Chains A and B, each alone.
Chain A
Amino acid sequence: MSGSRVLTPDLPFDMSPRADVAGRDVKLQQFVNSATQIKDHGRVNACRAAFGDRYDAVRKLAGEIKQHTLDHLDVYLDRFIDNATASGALVHFAADAAQANAIVLGIAREIDAKLCVKSKSMVTEETGLLAALEAIGVKTIETDLGEFILQLDHDAPSHIVTPMIHKDRTAVARAFVRELGAPYTEDPAELTRIARDHMRRQFRSADMGISGANFLVADTGSLVICTNEGNADLVVASPRVHVAVVGIEKVISSLEHLSVFLKLLARSATAQPMTVYNTIITGPRKPDDLDGPQQVHIVLVDNGRTEILREETRELLRCIRCGACLNACPVYRKVGGGHAYGAVYSGPIGAVITPLFKGLENYPDLPQASSLCGACFEACPVYINIPAQLIRLRRLLVERKLMPGTTRVAYRLWAMTLRRPWMYRASAAFQRIVLRQLSTSSEVEDRAGVNDRVSENGRDMVSSAWCAKLPGPLRAWTLSRDMPVPPSGSFREWWANRDRGSDASRRAGRP
């Protein structure tokens, strides 16, 4: 599958085939599992070490600051535009992806760009800017090492922070031999050096640099870009024109507030106290500056953000793209990383914002791709209640009748049964009889000892046998797990007996 199609699949998107494939890929499971668990533990340790008991209060503070900015986004955007313009930057406005790409292509044509170096920008992934630039003959190099390798290998990123979490060194080695004519080596240090040498030549001759921004500071009109590799520092200083493509939700009010986010971002993303390079850029090269680009363009992009800005979903725009919720999520791990989500943003945050960006009817599986365990909420440095937002979307799925027909019928029957005690008792008895029937068949594995427990009155209340294969539509359940065989009596019966039993023992024990 070509890289771009991985994140822009045919709609409506069906998640299960990808999740199934990933679920059977042992190597992928191991990679993603260990990479995310290491990062998740690292984050907890780094945040606790720095903030101790204040950690939750700090997350709430960061959330409040960003929420305040979003609540008054018109004012802060206005202020940012004024101050950025005063610093000499040219600010452009894109309502959607097509406008954003058209603006950047227009700049590229105006300056007659031939070669463009690019650092990470999630917005340009949304808009498909690279393909648009290639189409008009502007060669564009992704310079983040992970993104560079993915670009060479025609693959797509699978994690916001560590884009090639799904790839191993042999894949890199093969791509370098094939695309760069490099000698085969699996040594990560040597592979990195090959990439550095290759990209250095590009940086030196590039005439345009494209970046995103992690934050926009309203008070000063500054762009803030955070990278560990330092590629963005070359992107924004080496070519003669710098274009930053940024979503409107990145605005914060002041440099003081920036400290709060810089302290949280690196710890949440990679367990570092601080990102290696935090770069604050205010306008193009001034008349007496030694160097820097002659032009700085800032393309402010909406592309669906004003929809999410509505009150009920506004908190989602607080996201600072640290990827902590991805690392914390058991589902993200199990489906083998981001590709299973079929969109630019994956993991828990992607499961919420993708349906909002692209339409719930196009991504009905994503809000269900969560166990609602709450690990993402706990990991979020800006205190976004992702589980609540997932539940909200699930409610919308039902209201808009976007659930599959069989599911809807099943839930209607379930509701009907729950409302009528006699029906509930009858169906439970029926299930017990049928399942116990199956447990005597040859398809049942007896795993005595696993679950054995004996109730007070000597009756075996918890089954020790399992159904390994159920008939009909229930087969889907037993394909990946066994079904415990129910006990012979119901809980209600047991409870009634238990009461009688204990009454009897009480009477016997006490005169």
Chain B
Amino acid sequence: MNEKVLASQPQNDRLSRENGRGCSRAEFLQRVRGALAVPGELDSAGEARRDLSLVRLVGGDADCVGLFIERATAGGLCVHRVKPNDLMKVVVQMLSACGARRVAVSVPGRVGQSLREWLAPRGVAIVSIEIDGSLDAQYDADVGITDCDAGLAESGTIVLRGDAERSRGTFIVPPIHLAILRESQILPDMLDYWPTLSDCDGIASGRDGSVHGVTNRVRKVPTSIVMISGPSKTADIEGILITGVHGPREVHVVLVDDR
């Protein structure tokens, strides 16, 4: 069993051992097993089925859009509801209201395309986010525009992902963040978000899979998921709340009524 385990990470173990820096995976796990003394029977499948309804804060029958707006606003997000046809107009208005000259855009697909078409003739430059994988260009942007993966009514949270079409810097580097969210994307509770990530077979189900013959179903996740519940905040100096310490001081959610 240990041979199998070790084989999955030969490169790392070699790395650690050769440089005499850390210990090997086998040694490390042996320390843990030693401390556990007599490990009890592991019911991994039972653990996966554990009833979490106790922590559910919003049910499916709630007014999720209303709750989302109320709680996002309480957390410091500015929510703007728009009709689908007004989306571009409103975004352009908001950009000119804050005097944006340069924007970073992490919005794929049709909406991203129309954004580019609307912004170019209005003297708003779009900084290139597709350079050498660094966030450098976005440090000069006035506003970052992103789409969202979901909204959570429970806490007024927007969920963003970083992937092939979405930068991991657009929501955090520019001083103002503008996120486009569709009402149909709003889910009642965080518990409802995970099933929206597609399932894939366990990449490595470890000892559990072989012992119990249960294939461990795991979620296929993007490199980065960020759940945002307000503007960047700190209260480190005498407990006084200040926004925009590292990330944006303003976060606007343009909520598109697509229902």
Contacts and interface: CB of A to CB of B under 8 A. Distances in A.
Contact of B169 (A65, A237, A280): A237
Contacts of B37: 310-311
A65 B19 CA distance: 37
A12 to B, nearest CB: 26
Q: How large is the interface on A (under 10, 10 to 19, 20 to 34, 35 or more residues)?
A: 35 or more
Interface stretch (A70-78, A386-394, A397-405, A478-486): A70-78
A51 B208 CA distance: 34
A226 B33 CA distance: 29
Nearest to B157: A274
Given A82-B206, A169-B237, A73 B32 contact: yes
Interface string A191-214: 111011001100010000000000
B129 A91 contact: no
Interface in A249-273: 253-257, 259-260, 262-263, 270, 272-273
Contact of A200 (B133, B139, B163): B139
A191 B237 contact: yes
Interface residues of B, number: 101
Contact of B237 (A102, A145, A285, A299): A145
Interface in B1-49: 5, 8-9, 11-12, 15-16, 19-25, 27-29, 31-37, 39-40, 42, 44, 47-48
A93 B36 contact: no
A468 B42 CA distance: 61
B94 interface: no
A346 B226 CA distance: 30
B16 A93 contact: yes
B61 interface: no
A81 interface: yes
B230 A220 contact: no
Interface string B159-186: 0001111111101110000000000000
A309 interface: yes
Contacts of A263: 55, 57, 190
Given A233-B172, A278-B226, A302-B31, A192 B242 contact: yes
7 contacts: A83-B218, A91-B25, A99-B23, A192-B237, A237-B169, A273-B156, A278-B226
Given A94-B23, A149-B237, A290-B133, 12 more contacts: A82-B9, A82-B203, A86-B8, A92-B22, A169-B238, A230-B247, A254-B194, A273-B75, A276-B230, A279-B226, A285-B133, A291-B169
